[in-house]
Amino acid sequence: CPEGTVPIRRTTEKDVLRANKLRRFGKKPIRHLRRDSSGNGPLTTPQLLQHAVVFVNGDQYYGAKANINVWAPKVTDPYEFSLSQIWVISGSFENDLNTIEAGWQVSPELYGDSYPRFFTYWTTDAYQATGCYNLLCSGFVQTNNKIAIGAAISPRSSYRGRQFDIGLMVWKDPKHGHWWLEFGSGLLVGYWPDFLFSHLRSHASMVQFGGEIVNSRSTGGGHTYTQMGSGHFADEGFGKSSYFRNLQTVDWDNNLLPLNNLHLLADHSNCYDIRQGRNGVWGTYFYYGGPGRNIRCP
């Protein structure tokens, strides 16, 4: 784009007409959250949203970084999605939850297709009224004139084939307090101004990495066939299962640190699971995902 402008994905009449609920267009489903992010529980809900994630809490976090394997999981219901992302979280899990989120997602409702797309999200009230995807409301300030948020990511990984991942980092600028988003090596996409937030104005109390799907139970009351990650379980490993690698958090002085006291959560492990590891090349990593509905996940 020309100097002084940024690419914005055009919202068309078709986009809006696809929305399940017009007033919720561009927003995640409202969650019924019960736990405090300073306690032991991560960001989970009973049925609608399902996760396979790792998280750290109990400290002050000023950002997070990871490389996220990119796939095109099948999403079987137009109002469901499948995503893989980083969450930077603060506040209680009642009505004042603050989150910053970035990653890739397949969302037929939002984009009208089945491509994995680069996305951002934020909320300051547990997904109720504030925040949205990408640039669908004011909030996130894009500064990069080459990267389009909401654009399809290519190339994508294939089963037993070549693997591709994207590097993402979110961190807090110590001088101005804004939360910046970096794509790849050194490409600044933009920032979330500190005034958007209440709890995240100072720091995060939890960082979470992993996959999330919507299970609307539209297939005769059974579990959805929507896939997470590659659509294959974690134990299949490289080239078959989806991964996150080089997981790190950011401290107050903008140093990248390895993760300590990592917790794993797969809230429907017969449908989507997760396995974590560590080595000299990938640092802290994990495989995650699954096919959704199967013999063990009716």
Alpha-carbon gap, residue 106 to 116, rounded angstroms: 5
In the set 3, 80, 101, 182, the catalytic residue is 101
Alpha-carbon gap, residue 269 to 273, rounded angstroms: 5
Task: Mark whether 236 is an active-site residue.
Answer: no
Task: Mark whether 13 is an active-site residue.
Answer: no
Q: How far is CA 18 from CA 22, 105, 138, in A?
A: 9, 17, 22
Task: Outline where the chain has alpha helix (H).
Answer: 13-18, 108-111
Tell me the CA end-to-end span of the chain in Å, nearest whole number. Answer: 48
Dihedral sign (CA 280, 286, 291, 293): positive
In the set 80, 109, 182, 212, the catalytic residue is 212
Alpha-carbon gap, residue 49 to 126, rounded angstroms: 14
Q: Just list the catalytic residues.
A: 101, 212
